[in-house]
Structure 1
Amino acid sequence: MSGTDAVVRRQIVVDAPVERAFAVFTERFGDFKPKEHNLLGSPIVETVFEPKVGGHIYDRSEDGSECAWARILAFEPPDRVVFSWDISPAWQVEQDPDNASEVEVRFVAETPQRTRVELEHRNLDRHGPGWESVRDGVAHDQGWPLYLDRYADLFIDAR
């Protein structure tokens, strides 16, 4: 196993200044996170991204239950955000932070009105036995590519 096997990288370019690209990603995370990606027993009504180090990303369901599945590790507007991926290979919440991978999202201005959004999901092997299923899941078309496509669609709809 090489270290590169435990990393998934994706990127997308949006027609927006870097500040807006960052704000849409963090403030409207629940607008592009697929609601079908659900660890709760009831449908998701909202996904909350708490914009601060020590905050969480969590889902709230119709029945009021909540599932915190990520911790905000770095929050540096408008350049980057880093959060943990506290979801195990069994697609359950991982209780041990040492067994979590992390996602870094960088926002790079290509022009004053275009931003490249670079996502790196790394340290996937920290999930332990079966970690490859996490890698394969987030790399799949229904993983990060789906998130980024739906994120980019938010800019098209705003025109």
Structure 2
Amino acid sequence: MEEPVIEVPEVVVGVSVNLPTDTAFALFTDGIDRWWPKQNSFSRGTAREIGLTAEGGWFEISEEGETVGWGDVLAWQPPQRLLLAWQISPDTQPWSPEPDPAKASEVEVRFLPIEPGRTQVKVLHDAFARHGDGGAGMAAGMASPMGWPALLEAYRVAAEMEST
């Protein structure tokens, strides 16, 4: 008997910023430590630093100096596109890093020019079914006001500061 396939909806969130696409991409990637909330940590405390690099993936450094990986960079195409593996397990509360890349969902970030000096930043987080039974809960969490909407609001505020 074949197991049923669980369909988990994708999460799509966007924000417009008053930055050209190359600056918007750089703020999202190189500048992630300036906007990602440090309390959104997977090291069981407040992160000291958040990082995202083409070679090193995305990660945090805890207050104790421990590096905690969040996933790999699957595509780094400045200034249009970024694709990340979300190697976070919903099987623990709070969520924690997932060492198995086969159990990672994917976060695609697109940087779309609206007009000169203005960019639409669109996040598409999908493949939640790879997380197993907890995938639907993770999708709901990332779609909730405290998930990607809050993260992109923090990004928008940082972009506003960058543009002034």
1:13 equivalenced with 2:55 (yes/no)? no
Unaligned regions of 5+ residues in structure 1, if any? none
Q: Deviations over 1:54-84 (max 9, x none)?
A: x311110111111101210000000000000
Identity percentage of aligned residues? 34
Match for residue 151 of structure 1 among 134, 152, 155: 155
Q: What's the offset of the Cα at 1:2?
A: 6.9
1:17-32 to structure 2, matched below 5 A, reads 17-32=20-35
> Which residue pairs with 2:110 in the alignment?
106
> Which residue pairs with 2:80 in the alignment?
79
> Which residue pairs with 2:136 in the alignment?
132
Q: What's the offset of the Cα at 1:113?
A: 1.1
Contact 2:112 2:119 in 1 (8 A): yes
> Which residue pairs with 2:66 in the alignment?
65
Q: What's the offset of the Cα at 1:105?
A: 0.2
Contact 2:39 2:45 in 1 (8 A): no
Equivalents in 2 of 1:45, 1:2: separation in Å? 37
> Which residue pairs with 1:94 in the alignment?
98
Q: What's the offset of the Cα at 1:42?
A: 3.9
Moved over 4 A (4+): none
Q: 1:2 to 1:130 in 2, by over 3 A?
A: closer
Equivalents in 1 of 2:45, 2:156: separation in Å? 27
Cα RMSD of the aligned pairs, angstroms, is 1.4
Equivalents in 1 of 2:132, 2:15: separation in Å? 29
Equivalents in 2 of 1:25, 1:61: separation in Å? 20
Q: What's the offset of the Cα at 1:38?
A: 1.5
Contact 1:42 1:63 in 2 (8 A): no
Q: What's the offset of the Cα at 1:148?
A: 0.6
